[in-house]
Chains A and B, each alone.
Chain A
Amino acid sequence: MSSEHAIDVDDQHAVDTHHVDIDKQVKIYITVFTALMALTLITVAISYLHLPTGAAVTVALFVALVKGSLVACYFMHLIAEKKLIYAVLAITVAFFIVLLALPVLTVSDGYWIPEEHPAATAPATGGH
């Protein structure tokens, strides 16, 4: 294996040649796995409390967010990634928020949509 190759694998994940023990990472994976299992059981347990819808949605999505962050940070190595990846994800998150905000805005009775005049919704008669 060329030294260039060795740099690639090691540099991306800060292991091996940088003397960061891969065993340490494996221990982190096991810890994260345990945390994910516990959070899954917590999610299900909370659902049996029959909280009001608003509280249930908030709690369930919060726990899902924590679980998702653990997967992204440790399994997908986002905790130590290059700036370009963060930039790509920042743009993605921004568009994702806009995407999810659209139905929320719709629910708030479409305040930004001009109210249609009854005449505007009437069938056109002979016009272009």
Chain B
Amino acid sequence: MDIPYTVEIRRDTGLTNGKIGIWLFLASEVMLFGALFASYILIRTGAPSWPHGSTILNVPLATFNTIVLIGSSVTMVMAWASLMRKDFGKFRLYMGATILLGFVFLIVKYFEYSAKFEHHLYPSTNNFLAIYFTLTGLHMLHVAGGMAVNAYFWGPGAKQWKTNPVWFTNRVEHSGLFWHFVDLVWIFLFPTLYLL
């Protein structure tokens, strides 16, 4: 039995099931990160003193990572736009660039984490580092998850372009929505943890 409304619009919602599904998922993600941001506010405002992020964390590296992630959002949306133009070659190029930029982001985070551990700064060291590692760790998991999905569409999943290009285009758009959400979360994490 075929999955219903993958390419056809539902009359009642005006959307495909995949589109409403990914937005509902993102709504749950907002609450997940929202709970952690609320925890951050609670811990920070309740602390007698709180370090400025830049005194512990590497701001230039994080700025570089912000640029990388924003860049990956552009390549992601360009990958989708390429499919809309029916240019599969360009899609492969932009999607590959998105995955590559995701890797760059994770590698930079690896160096950031390594530097902290070398200085014996762990999540258990203090509240600032506890919330820093929790928020950025969860965010990194999302980056890795998004990369896995994008890699699937770049690789084995791309054969669907030949059999059902509209469905494939919709799936890439949904994957892109998740990727942009991950970028959006970082846009708030960066100033919150590093600059304040």
Q: Would you call A89 and B27 a contact (CB within 8 A)?
A: yes
With A6-B166, A60-B195 in contact, do A13 and B188 touch (Cβ < 8 Å)?
no
- In the complex, what's the smallest C-beta–C-beta distance from B25 to chain A, in angstroms? 10
Chain B residues close to A by CB (< 8 Å): 7-9, 13-16, 19-20, 23-24, 27, 30-31, 34-35, 37-39, 41-42, 45-46, 54, 59, 63, 66-67, 70-71, 73-74, 76-78, 81, 84-85, 165-166, 169-170, 173, 176-177, 180-181, 183-184, 187-188, 190-192, 195-196
Q: Is the CB of A8 within 8 A of B27?
A: no
**Could you tell me the dominant secondary structure of chain B's interface residues?**
helix
Residues B180 and A91 in contact, CB atoms below 8 Å apart: no
Report the nearest B residue to A40, measured CB to CB: B66
Q: Tell me which of B15, B78, B85 contacts A85 (CB under 8 A).
A: B15
List, in ascending order, chain A residues with CB within 8 A of B8's CB: 4-5, 8
Q: For B41, give its contact among A44, A63, A83, A103 (CB under 8 Å).
A: A103
Across the interface, which residues of A come within 8 angstroms of B76, CB to CB? 75
- Which chain B residues border A71 with CB–CB below 8 Å? 73, 180, 183-184, 187
Q: Is the CB of B7 within 8 A of A96?
A: no
The 17 sampled A-B contact pairs (Cβ below 8 Å) are A9-B7, A33-B70, A37-B70, A41-B63, A43-B195, A61-B191, A71-B180, A75-B73, A75-B183, A88-B20, A91-B27, A96-B31, A99-B31, A100-B38, A100-B41, A103-B45, A107-B45
Known: A47-B196, A99-B34, A100-B41. 6 other contacts (CB 8 A): A56-B196, A60-B191, A60-B192, A84-B15, A99-B38, A100-B34
Inter-chain CA distance A56–B53, complex, in Å, is 13
Least Cβ distance of A15 to chain B in Å? 6
A92/B73 in contact, CB under 8 A: no
CA distance A47 to B55 in the complex (A): 12
Tell whether A80 is near chain B: CB-to-CB under 8 Å.
Answer: no
Where the two chains meet, the residues of A that have a C-beta atom closer than 8 Å to any C-beta of B are 1, 4-9, 11-13, 15-16, 22, 25-26, 29-30, 32-33, 36-37, 40-41, 43-44, 46-47, 53, 56-57, 60-61, 63-64, 67-68, 71-72, 75-76, 82-85, 88-89, 91-92, 95-96, 99-100, 102-104, 106-107
Evaluate contact between A8 and B170: CB separation under 8 angstroms: yes
Residue A88 contacts which of B23, B59, B81, B196 (CB distance < 8 angstroms)?
B23
Q: Find chain A residues with CB under 8 A from B78 CB.
A: 26, 29
**A75 touching B77, Cβ below 8 Å:** yes
Taking a contact as CB atoms under 8 Å apart, the answer to whether B63 and A92 are in contact is no
Q: Which residue of the partner chain B has the closest CB to A82?
A: B14
Residues of B contacting A84 in the complex (Cβ-Cβ under 8 angstroms):
13-15, 20
Are B35 and A53 closer than 8 Å at their CB atoms? Answer: no
Report the separation of the CA atoms of residues A33 and B180 in the bound assembly, to the nearest whole angstrom: 12
| CB pair B63 A44 closer than 8 Å | yes
**Given the known A-B contacts A92-B30, A107-B46, are A40 and B70 also in contact in the complex, defined by CB atoms under 8 Å?**
yes
Query: In the bound complex, what is the Cα–Cα distance between A84 and B70 (angstroms)?
Result: 27
